[in-house]
Structure 1
Amino acid sequence: MVHEVFPVGPLQCNCSIVGDETTGEAMVVDPGGDLVRIRAVLEAKKLRCTQIVVTHAHLDHIAGARRLSQMTGAPVFYNQLDLPLVEIMDQQAEWMGVALPEVAPPDASAEEGMKISVGGVTAEVMHTPGHTEGSLCLYFPNERLLLAGDTLFKGGIGRTDLPGGDARKILVSLQERLMGLPEQTIVVPGHGALTNIGDELENNPWLIGL
């Protein structure tokens, strides 16, 4: 499996490219901007984008998804519960002081338990509401890899004071979904440094409290 993580866009969202070297297929997760760089990484790794996944519909994660889909023909998946955030994308752009991106409803809603594959690499959708109603994580069980979006960070959790946020729900998502994963699971948060479940169980004050 190929896995490249790099920050994109003005808020430095962690974009992941996960690919299968045998088939050359790849998914791009959270293409929040810098499409030239995303396409350059795909080309350097000899991969073609066949799936696009957005962990939640905040502008910094979804901004490039529509354009990347138009460029590659890949479908876009995110949870339909975040459609209200897409409908206020103009307000999001104003809050963040950036240009309004072209956005659209998902080609298919990414629902709890859904499997998304590229070649022999398969991710399971985990619906983890709290940061937004439709927030999701992608878990790759064979690789023990979690793309956590803005649900879990190194030493912290996603903020819940933005539209769609719910403090109670994010704590339930953390306790019932993420804390039960193997401790060696690598966690790629939506922003910032990578971590793992074991370190967060031991050091993250939000998880210790649970």
Structure 2
Amino acid sequence: MQRETFPVAPLGCNCSILFDSVTSDATVVDPGSDILRIVGFLAARNLKLRQIVVTHGHLDHIAGAKLLSEQTGAPVVFHPADIFQLSWMEQQAAWMGVPVPKTGPPDIEALEGMKLQVGSETGEVLHTPGHTEGSISLYFPQSSLLLAGDTLFREGIGRTDLPGGDDKQIITSIREKLLPLPEKTRVIAGHGSETTIEHEAVRNPFLR
């Protein structure tokens, strides 16, 4: 499995494109709103988009998911608990000074333990609530890769002061679901630079 990660509008969310050069299958995680860049990347490599996974329902992560789905036919996948986040999308858009995006419920529900196939590699959905009720992380053991959304950052954690946030729950999610992963697991956070499980277990001040 190969990966391309780059920040997308409106708030520099890390969008990841996971793909297999043999099968040409691809998965987009957290498309934000830079759809032209994403579609261009897929087209340049002749990739077939199989699924669009959203780690949680905040606008900066989900804004382009519906449009990307309409353009490619790929289903949108996120946890059903974050359908609630769509109910205040107008307020989120007003805060960010952007148009209200077209959104809708998931085509496929990303529940705990669900398997995600990218070519020959299988990933797993980890339900990691706390930033939002339906926050998920994606773990690919073969690649030693974790896409943590806004649950875990390099020496930080996701904010919990927005609707659906819970400061105790996010710490529980990290301690019970993420820190037990192998220490060398690379962590791609929802924003900012990547890290490792080992680094966060030692250096993250919120986890001491």
Q: Percent same amino acid at aligned positions?
A: 58
User: Counterpart of 2:202 in 1: which secondary structure?
Assistant: helix
Q: Which residue of structure 1 aligns with residue 45 of structure 2? A: 45
**Matched residue type, 2:24:** G
- Structure 2 equivalent of residue 32 of structure 1: 32
Question: Counterpart in 1 of 2:90?
Answer: 90
Q: 1:13 corresponds to which residue?
A: 13
2:112 equivalent in structure 1 = 112
Listed as ranges, the gaps of 5+ residues in structure 1 are: none
* Contact 1:51 1:118 (8 Å CA) reproduced: no
Question: 1:205 aligns to what?
Answer: 205
Aligned to 1:128: 128
Letter in 2 for 1:76: V
- Report if the CA contact (8 A) 1:187-1:197 is conserved: yes
- Please name the residue that 1:181 is paired with: 181
The aligned counterpart of 1:193 is 193
Distance 1:48 1:183 in 2: 33
- The answer to whether the 8 Å contact 1:19/1:121 transfers is no
What's the counterpart of residue 137 of structure 1?
A: 137
**Cα distance in 2, alignment partners of residues 166 and 96 from structure 1:** 22
- Secondary structure of the residue aligned to 1:123 is strand
Task: Give deviations 1:144-199, integer Å, cap 9, x for gaps.
Answer: 10000000000100000001100010010011010100010000000000111111
Aligned twin of 1:58:
58
SS of corresponding position for 1:31:
coil
SS in 2 for 1:181: coil
The alignment's TM-score, normalised by the length of structure 2, stands at 0.98
Shift of 1:20: 1.1
Q: Distance in 1 between matches of 2:193 and 2:2?
A: 19
Greater Cα offset, 198-207 or 134-143: 198-207
More moved, 178-187 vs 117-126? 117-126
Q: Within 2, Cα distance between the matches of 1:64 and 1:183?
A: 33
**Residue range with higher mean Cα deviation, 185-194 or 91-100:** 91-100
Counterpart of 1:179 in structure 2: which amino acid?
Answer: L
Shift of the alpha carbon at 1:43? 2.2
Per-residue deviation, 1:118: 2.3
Q: Which 4+ stretches in 1 moved above 4 angstroms? A: none
Distance 2:179 2:144 in 1: 13
Aligned partner of 2:158: which letter? G
- d(CA) in 1 for partners of 2:118, 2:139: 14
The answer (yes or no) to whether the contact 1:51–1:74 under 8 Å persists in 2 is yes
Residue identity matched to 1:11: L
Aligned AA (1:106): P
Q: How many residues align?
A: 208
Q: Look up the equivalent residue of 1:168 and give its one-letter code.
A: K
Q: Distance between the aligned counterparts of 1:50 and 1:86, measured in 2? A: 23
Shift of 1:94: 1.2
Instruction: State which drifts further: 148-157 or 34-43.
Output: 34-43
Question: Could you tell me which residue of structure 2 aligns to residue 99 of structure 1?
Answer: 99
**2:23 counterpart SS class:** coil
- Displacement of 1:45 in angstroms is 2.9
Segment drifting more, 93-102 vs 7-16: 93-102
Aligned-CA RMSD value: 0.8
